[in-house]
Amino acid sequence: MVNKVAASGLITLKLEEWWPTRPLVEFDLKDYLFKELILKEKDFREAIKEHDFGQYQDKVLLVHCSTDAIIPAWAYMLVAAAAAPYAADIYQGSEAEYLRDYYRETIAGLDTDAYAGQRIVVKGCGDRPVPPAAYLEVTARLRPVARSIMFGEPCSTVPVYKQPLVRK
């Protein structure tokens, strides 16, 4: 029996394997607002002093506000100053925003030489919710070098891009 998928020379990219390795934890500023709407400086400073930032040791801290409140820039600065000795990284935004930017940065650093002239399948399903922007980014990054780009599984793909034939 011949495994046609293995013999096809396809390169499968599993974007979920590029998922951040450090745990993501959220710090929602709404919990520190008066009536989840107003930031009172004195109360906020006291709450930040009392908060146990050690719980974020070696994690990615996602600082955001889930309510429609106006948060002054210095509030984010206070959180960053308190969390910096513990958190592996501090990001202003939600988990979805972080993942979009994380994948963008990861894909921007991709060595495209390894994919030159190759037939690539970008795997589309998995255990982790890879943001749609990651699929857009990887396609844009690999299109100039790839022979073809497909989406799905090697046994059942959706064609996305195929390099045009050059006729002499």
For 128-162, how does the pLDDT look when each residue is reduced to its tens digit (9 = 90+)? 899 999 999 999 999 999 999 999 987 788 999 99
Amino acid at 18: W
pLDDT of residue 166: 67
Cβ-defined contacts of 38-42 (< 8 Å, 24+)? 38/69, 39/69, 39/70, 39/71, 39/72, 39/75
Is the confidence at residue 124, as pLDDT, over 90? no
Instruction: Answer for the pair 11, 147: CB distance below 8 angstroms, yes or no.
Output: no
User: 11 vs 112, 121, 134, CA distance in Å?
Assistant: 13, 6, 17
